[in-house]
Amino acid sequence: MSSEQLLLSARGAGRRFGQTIALEPVDLAISPGEGLALVGPNGAGKSTLLALLAGALEPSMGGIERRKGIRVGWAPQRPAQYGRLSARENLELFARLEGEPEPEEAAARLLRAFDLPGKASPSANLSVGNRQRLNLAIAFLGRPDVLLLDEPTAALDPEQRRRLWERTTALRDAGGAFAFATQNLDEIRHYADRVAALRDGRLVFDGSADDYDRSQADTLFA
């Protein structure tokens, strides 16, 4: 696939924090109609790579390329929301930042979709599960073409997990794409077309989910 057809790609992108290299230079592309799982032990560089792709971090080396005009939704591992604002107020604020033409309507739609409370209590008072739902709802603002999700099912109950994967696979089937960090083999088997594995800040595997078998997982996490 030509670079013009790719949605999002890292081109020798890496990141260091001071003298510590969190991610060695990586070449990784996300194509239309693709579900990409990022796997690896804790500290492997998965969150750093997703943050670079999302534009939440600037690469220390290399760069990130986006197809012109695409929108990227980002749900970091630690929810990025304003604790003093309610769930509705958070969604309305981020909807305006994403350029939603009707932010109140967008917020109401996502409150319903993610079963979030509409009352005016601060989001800091929400349960861990509801804070994660709000985190994911924010990622869906602006009707993104690509979703980048860091451990997205953490703290979700089974029904909310099912709904999340329905939404992400619908986006993929419509010609968008998603990438998600996970250590859950069942999620890889059911929702990933492709797997990129990292270890010690290096990309050590990039191939189809079918080629990522249990023996490779055992080696990666050994």
Domain positions in the chain:
1-70+145-222, 82-144
Architecture of domain 1-70+145-222 in this structure: 3-Layer(aba) Sandwich (3.40)
**What are 3-24's pLDDT values in tens digits?**
568 999 999 999 999 999 999 9
**What are 44-64's pLDDT values in tens digits?**
999 999 999 999 999 999 999
| % pLDDT > 90, the chain | 84
- How much is the pLDDT for 219? 63
Half-sphere exposure of 181 (CA within 13 A, CB side): 24
Q: Which residues pair with 203 in a beta bridge?
A: 198
**How would residue 168 be classed by pLDDT, with cut points 50, 70 and 90?**
very high
- How much is the pLDDT for 2? 52
At 216, which amino acid appears?
Answer: Q
- How much is the pLDDT for 222? 47
For residues 15-42, one letter each, b for 16 or more C-beta atoms within 10 angstroms of the residue's C-beta and e for the rest, the string is: beeeeebbbbbbebbbebebbbbbbbee
* d(C-alpha 222, C-alpha 220), whole Å: 6
**How would residue 217 be classed by pLDDT, with cut points 50, 70 and 90?**
low
Interval 165-185 mean pLDDT: 95
**What are 181-212's pLDDT values in tens digits?**
998 889 999 999 999 999 999 999 999 988 88
